[in-house]
Amino acid sequence: MDWLAHTFDGLLGLALLWLAWQAMHAPGLFRSVVSYMVFGLVMALIWVRLEAPDIALAEAAIGAGATGALLLSALARLKDGSDAGRLHWRHPAELVFWLPFAAVTALVLGLTAWQLPAPGLGVDVARTLGQSGVDNPVTAVLLNFRSFDTLLEIGVLLVGVVAIWSLGPAPSPIVPKMPSPALPALGRALFPVFVLAATYLLWRGSHAPGGAFQAGAVMGAGGILMVLAGARPWLTGEEQGPWRWLLSLGLVAMLAVAVAMAALAGTFFAYPPALAAPLILALEISAALSIALLMFAVYLCGRPPDHWEAED
Amino acid sequence: MNELFLILAVVLLLNTTVGLVRILSGPHPADRMLAAEMFSTSAVVIMLLLAFATDRPPLVDVALVFALLSALAVVTFVSRAWSALKPTTDTDDHDGGNR
Amino acid sequence: MTVVGVIGAALVVAGVPFFLFGTLGLLRLPDTYSRLHALAKGDNVGLGLVCLGLGLQSGSVLVTLKLLMIWVLMLIASATGAGLIARTALARGVKPHGL
């Protein structure tokens, strides 16, 4: 049993390193992108082996799904498809610097990891889990004990979308017309499943691996698939429009809760234990909605128009 | 029983890793994409086998997410190909246009 | 070990060769279209057998339903994906082997 698990882990590690090398140094960007997509799948398997199913879920949705779609679409927009700006080993002499540098960095990181306190904070989290309002320790940490981090993460996503929208209008059409009758059918068949899976993951977040980020990522990837299948996106970019409010809903809700708690109890983000469960649920729903829309908005590669033209 | 599933998972992982050579050899982008597709199917199976071998039901959800998103990569790949469609290119290895 | 458990394990074991042959086909077959054909076996029959076997092993209705859903999702994705990739390869001018 033990040696089997070790063989499995060793294989996974080797595959990961090989794919990482391919993603960086394969000739041709397309090969790199495909390697990187497989890298995401291997990474999800590794997270599972590291007993982190929550991260594996997020990695499966983001790394294997949305990132691949983003990178491939970006590749399609490169005009000449050239490898300009790509990292190459220009001179073997550079290795004289980089190899020792990498070795020292790995050594320092390894030593630091070695010196981390052994049981970590798991014991404390388990002890206070009863007051957090949820049964899943990961959700408790994300939305109660360390809500501040989650606030900043959602903020980063929102800033990313703002930056992308400010680069210019979304290209039109977003996807080329593909002559396949199967594609719209695929979109229609899968959309309900995406909604179902995202809702399920969101609901599970309170007591098992799952939660706002996973649900949002799955739904965002679902939206990307729908657009690729020929659906017209509803997301519009008009100022003061409803979509801008929905995009920032997660951040606004978290900030509102944090400030309200600060006014009531005197501490930023300190929920009273009685209110913790409903507050976390409300935050999860708003965050999941925002994350799904933000991931979708990123994919549009620019500010969507105020009104989508009806396609003929 | 658990050992059996772990052995199968190792066999499948080995099998898939060997199949990844197709990413290297191509020659057409579609071939590279096929290798990624094969990996995503195998990842679903490996995840399911791990879920049962180590008795962790949440992993079935991860496999479900894999299965749900496996269509996304192909559809994006195809849309990319149609947006830059240039006929009579057999390979992406030698011409600069399709990289 | 129950009879159902043994049947389940046997089904899982029976599913794995389809992936092995899928990889063999991916590496050895001469063109994109025949490689597509080889991979679809793993997606359809291989995954189906594994899901069926694991469903017999699980003894839980919810998990069995999830396994069924995973299989159906992969069937949809595999069938659509194969059609799309073949269509794209053809439009890109990839010649079928021997034509």
String of DSSP letters for B25-94: H-SSHHHHHHHHHHHHHHHHHHHHHHHHHTT-THHHHHHHHHHHHHHHHHHHHHHHHHHT--SS---SSS
Contacts of C32 in chain B (CB under 8 A): 28, 30-31, 34
Top pLDDT among A33 and A235 is at A33
CB contact (8 A) between residue A197 and residue B76:
no
In whole numbers, what is the pLDDT of chain C averaged over residues?
85
Q: What average pLDDT does this structure show over B52-75? A: 86
For A53, the closest chain B residue by CA position comes to B59
With CA atoms as reference, the chain B residue closest to C37 would be B34
pLDDT digit string (tens) for A101-158?
999 999 999 999 888 877 777 778 888 777 777 778 788 888 778 888 888 989 999 9
Would the CB atoms of C76 and A180 count as touching at under 8 Å? no
The closest alpha carbon to A230, from A118, A308, A154, A290, belongs to A308
- CA-to-CA distance for C18 and C26, rounded, in angstroms? 12
- Of the ranges A154-168, A259-273, B51-65, which one carries the lowest mean pLDDT score? A259-273
Query: Do C26 and B85 count as a contact with CB atoms less than 8 A apart?
Result: no
CA distance C71 to chain B (A): 8
Name every chain B residue with its beta carbon within 8 A of the beta carbon of C91: 81-82, 85, 87
Residue B95 confidence (pLDDT) above 60: no
- For residue A108, the model assigns a pLDDT of 95
Angle at Cα A13 formed by Cα A8 and Cα C66, nearest 5°? 55
Tell me what pLDDT residue A109 has. Answer: 93
How many angstroms away from the CA of C56 is the closest CA of chain A? 23
Phi and psi at residue A169, in whole multiples of 5°? Answer: -70, 155
Helical (H) or strand (E) element with A255: helix A249-265
At A116 the pLDDT is 82
What confidence score (pLDDT) does residue B5 get? 86
Residue A88 confidence (pLDDT) above 50: yes
CA pair distance B47, A8, nearest whole angstrom:
12
What pLDDT is attached to residue A107? 95
Which amino acid is located at A241 in the chain?
G
Please confirm whether the linkage preceding B27 is cis (ω < 30° from 0). Answer: yes
Q: What's the pLDDT score for residue A310? A: 61
Closest residue in B to C40 (Cα–Cα): B38
- Residues from chain B that touch A178, judged by Cβ atoms under 8 A, are 78-79, 82
Mutate which of A38, A57, A180, A226 to disrupt the C interface (most C C-beta within 10 Å)? A180
Q: How far is CA A238 from CA A234, A235, B54, C83, in A?
A: 12, 9, 50, 38
Instruction: Please give the Cα distance from A129 to A120 (Å, whole number).
Output: 15
User: Cβ contact (<8 Å) for C83 and A182?
Assistant: yes
Q: How confident is the model at residue A205 (pLDDT cuts 50, 70, 90)?
A: confident
d(CA C48, CA B49): 13
pLDDT attached to residue A144 = 79
DSSP codes joined into one string, A51-107: T-HHHHHHHHHIIIIIHHHHHHHHHHH-SS---TT------THHHHHHHHHHHHHHH
pLDDT at A40 over 60: yes
> Among A48, A82, A190, whose Cβ lies nearest the Cβ of B71?
A190
Q: Do A8 and B6 touch (CB under 8 A)?
A: yes
Q: Is the pLDDT of residue B68 over 50?
A: yes
> Encoding tokens for residue B88?
């009579």
Residue A209 is classified by DSSP as S
Average pLDDT, integer, range A288-300: 88
Chain A: give the shortest CA distance to residue B88, in Å. 17
Position A312 pLDDT exceeds 50: no
**Which has the higher per-residue pLDDT, A312 or B2?**
B2
Residue A89 pLDDT: 57
pLDDT of residue A118: 72
Neighbours of chain C (3+ CB pairs under 8 A): A, B
CB < 8 Å & 24+ apart, contacts of C91-94? C91/B81, C91/B82, C91/B85, C91/B87, C92/B28, C92/B30, C92/B81, C92/B85, C92/B86, C92/B87, C92/B89, C93/B87, C93/B88, C93/B89, C93/B90, C94/B28, C94/B30, C94/B90, C94/C31, C94/C32, C94/C33
Residue of A178, A180, A189 with shortest CB distance to C76: A189
The neighbours of chain B, by the rule of 3 or more Cβ pairs under 8 Å, are A, C
A169 forms beta bridges with A303
Contact call for A68 and B66, based on CB within 8 A: no
Q: Are A13 and A65 in contact (CB under 8 A)?
A: no
Residues of C in contact with B16 (CB under 8 A): 19, 23
Top residue of C66, C80, C90 to mutate, by most chain A CBs within 10 Å, is C80
Alpha-carbon gap, residue A260 to A270, rounded angstroms: 10
What pLDDT is stored for residue C1 in this prediction?
Answer: 67
Contact (Cβ atoms closer than 8 angstroms) between residue B18 and residue B37: no
Helices C32-41 and C61-91, interaxial angle, to 10°? Answer: 170
Cβ B44–C47 below 8 Å, yes or no?
A: yes
Query: What's the rounded Cα separation, in Å, for the pair A170 and A172?
Result: 6
Q: Using CA of residue B46, residue B48, residue B49, residue B53, what is the dihedral sign?
A: positive
State the average pLDDT for chain A. Answer: 82
Give the model's pLDDT for residue B91.
45
Nearest to A61 by CA among A227, A224, A286: A224
On average, the pLDDT of chain B sits at: 78
CB pairs under 8 A between A and C: 20
* Whole-number Å distance between alpha carbons of A223 and A230: 11
Q: Which chains touch A (3 or more CB pairs under 8 A)?
A: B, C
The pTM of the full predicted model, rounded to 2 decimals, is: 0.85
Compare A47 and B96 and report the one with higher pLDDT. A47
Residues in A closer than 8 angstroms to C79, CB to CB, are 182
Q: Which residue has the higher pLDDT, B39 or A276?
A: B39
Residue (of B83, B70, B67, B63) closest to B37 by Cα position = B70
Q: Would the pLDDT of C57 be above 80?
A: yes
Predicted confidence (pLDDT) at residue A175 exceeds the cutoff of 60: yes
Residue B3 has a CB neighbour count (10 Å cut-off) of 10
Span of A70-84, A144-158, C79-93 with lowest mean pLDDT = A70-84
pLDDT at B89: 43
Q: What is the pLDDT of residues C28-56, one digit of tens each?
A: 888 888 888 888 887 888 899 999 988 88
Helix or strand holding residue A13 (H, E)? helix A2-25
Structure tokens at C92: 């890109």
Mean pLDDT across A24-40? 84
Comparing CA positions, the residue from C60, A136, C42, A137 lying closest to residue B52 is C60
C90 touches chain B (CB under 8 A): no
Crossing angle of the two packed helices B58-83 and A67-77, in degrees rounded to 10: 10
* Interchain proximity B62–A208, CB inside 8 Å: no
pLDDT of res. B94: 40
Q: Are A198 and A284 in contact (CB under 8 A)?
A: no
Length of chain A, in residues: 312
Coil, helix or strand at residue A3: helix
Summarize chain A as % helix, strand, coil (round to 5): 70, 0, 30
Name the residue among A219, A287, A285, A246 with its Cα closest to residue A66: A219
Residues of A with CB under 8 A from a CB of C: 178-180, 182-183, 185-186, 189-190, 193
For residues B73-84, average pLDDT: 75
Residue-wise pLDDT tens digits, C66-81: 999 999 999 888 888 8
Q: Which of B59, B68, B78, B95 to mutate to test the interface with C (most CBs of C within 10 A)?
A: B78
Q: How confident is the model at residue B83 (pLDDT cuts 50, 70, 90)?
A: low
Which among C43, C57, C92 has the least Cβ separation from residue B89? C92
Put simply, the answer to whether B6 touches A1 (Cβ < 8 Å) is yes
Domain ranges of chain B: 2-81
